[in-house]
Amino acid sequence: MQGVRVFVQHNRGACIINTCRMFSTTHHRAADQRSYKLVVVGGGTGGCSTAARFCHQLGKGKVAVIEPSETHYYQPLWTLVGGGIKTFKETVRSMKDVLPKECDWIKAKVTNFDPDNNTVVTSDGQKIKYDFMVVSMGMQLNFDQIPGALEALKNDPQVVSNYAPWTVEKTFPAIRNTRDGNAIFTFPNTPIKCAGAPQKIMYLAEEHFRKNGVRDKVTVLYNTALGVIFGVKKYAERLMKVVEKRHIKVNYRRNLIEVKSNKKEAVFENLDTGEKETFTYSMLHLTPPMSAPDELRQCKKLVNEAGYLEVNNDTLQSTRYPNIFSIGDCNSAPTSKTAAAVASQGGVVMKNLGALMNGKPMLKKYDGYTSCPLITSRGRCILAEFDYNGNPLETFPIDQGKERWSMYHLKADVLPFMYWNAMLTGHWNGPGFFRKAIRLGLSDGSIKKS
């Protein structure tokens, strides 16, 4: 997952910050129109890593990052925060500490794209020109599209979500306070970041209920707008065995459309019949509808019909403007939106944009690689890795569809370290190289999958 974009955004200031200099909007207006070799829109996972890669290549003052937030979050760990395993503090760093020192940080948000003139306009009125641009804005959380959801999240301690920094710390107390009734976990009728997250917290909650002697009184429900539990057949089959063994009820094609917290009710639409169904809840973990940020969606010259920046699936270059690329959740690449996808996409963009800058052909192709560590309990995880076509693209020469402690340790301890120390600094482009190295020289069947 990348930098969070909640549907309500606040103006966090009107200044440009650099480790060496500061520009204020009270400065001469000429300071409000500057030009960069590369402008990176967004300071999330994709933005930080891209800035780091190209600052190394282009040098100081050639790269600008436009990002309003002063805080950077490692969101993939929020499942474990919600499960009471990790602390929220472990997922937080100051933006100034994760951005490369050689870049200019423009602490505002982009409100308008003008790709015909190689210009963006920021929330404080600055016009920033670029030779090349990488858009990595993440996804927008649209809690407001579910009537009653925001009110419930603010006022009902048993309505929670792991998807926002202001709600994730509510989750574990709600799990602890659930003693009976329905514990409902939802998946919306839109693309989302980290598609496995809605069920990962469900498995951790179910385990907690079981270990604390209340499982026989709590009905665990997974109400998903999808028609399958997971989009890749191999892992879906393994997950179905998990839910069957643990007596979790899966209701397909059910989309949350309203929360009535005063009655402890959640209203769902059956997407096949159009009928409404009302469930009472003792706990409700909701995953909000998501979209590309409004500021991007309104630029029809850049986006497809769904509002995502339209890119070539192989090169991640804009299909309409050759000097624009996009990484991560806000682009149209048809793969699962995860931090793992961002890492691989970042490596592709580094190669292709670098080639374009130097007048060389773009040869690097993105295969759609993405990964979802599906935590099924404390100490067990299925490591799903796959490509554009939903084919497993596993790194280790073992069956990653099996619940394993080693994969849990990778998710909980190894990947966070790699994120802060390798990925954000532009030194991690995904496991493709290691996958090939591990399998190099191994003949078919030489390793027994267990």
Q: Please identify every residue annotated as catalytic.
A: 194, 372
Beta-carbon contacts of 439 under 8 Å, excluding residues fewer than 6 positions away, are 397
Instruction: Give 160's strand partners.
Output: 285
Q: What's the token pair of residue 206?
A: 């179910």
Q: Quick one: which of 16, 9, 78, 45 has its CA closest to 287?
A: 78
| Residue 446 CA: distances (Å) to CA of 394, 397, 441 | 16, 10, 10
CB atoms within 10 A of CB 363: 9
Between the CA atoms of 158, 163, 169 and 173, what dihedral angle is there, to the nearest 10 degrees?
30
CA 98 – CA 101 distance, rounded (Å): 9
Beta bridge partners of 129: 35, 119
- Residue of 171, 186, 399, 402 lying closest to 289 (CA atoms): 186
- CA dist., res. 76 & res. 416, Å (int): 8
**What is the rounded distance in angstroms from the CA atom of residue 285 to the CA atom of residue 264?**
13
